[in-house]
Amino acid sequence: MTTTDAKTQIDETVKANDVVLYMKGTKDMPQCGFSSRVAGVLNFMGVEFADVNVLADEAIRQGIKDYSDWPTVPQLYVKGEFVGGCDIITEMTLSGELDTLFDQNGVPYDKAAADKIREANA
């Protein structure tokens, strides 16, 4: 796969799905702690999301970093927009910003589960 092909594929994936997580491994079997944390938050909150395993394709692994101009994986996209990596998603979850982002974009999630995460980390 060429760099152009990877960019096109990433662009199509990000635009075709409301929520996409580029990660190491899959949502059922994450292969790094940071990917596991973000996938865990999304799974716990009941968010439907597409997962893309960057370890399966070197062009996608490099391509996603170029696409977002962000050096690390995982990377979360909501409605085609890059949201952030593990630290940003963790902060947004704890501050309630992630709930707001999902609300504004019509992404269904379990509000009670989001509150539980905040209670557990208060």
How far, in Å, CA of 34 to CA of 18, rounded? 21
Q: What are the domain boundaries of the chain? A: 3-115
| pLDDT value, residue 2 | 76
Q: What is the mean pLDDT of the chain?
A: 96
Are the C-beta atoms of 62 and 74 separated by less than 8 Å?
no
In this model, does residue 75 exceed pLDDT 80?
yes
Greatest distance between any 2 Cα atoms in the chain: 46
| pLDDT value, residue 3 | 74
Q: Specify the residue for token string 């990377």.
A: 75
Mean pLDDT of 50-57: 97
| pLDDT value, residue 18 | 98
Residue 73 region, left (φ>0) first, then alpha (ψ -120 to 50), else beta?
A: beta
32 annotated as belonging to a binding site for a ligand: yes
| pLDDT value, residue 122 | 85
Q: Which CATH superfamily is domain 3-115 in?
A: Glutaredoxin (3.40.30.10)
2-23 pLDDT tens trace: 778 999 999 999 999 999 999 9
Instruction: Report which residue type is found at 8.
Output: T
Element (H, E) at 58: helix 58-68
Mean pLDDT of 47-62: 97
Q: Given 3-state DSSP classes, what are the helix, strand and coil percentages for the chain, each rounded to the nearest 5? A: 55, 15, 30
Are the C-beta atoms of 38 and 69 separated by less than 8 Å?
no
How far, in Å, CA of 21 to CA of 39, rounded? 8
Are the C-beta atoms of 22 and 75 separated by less than 8 Å?
yes
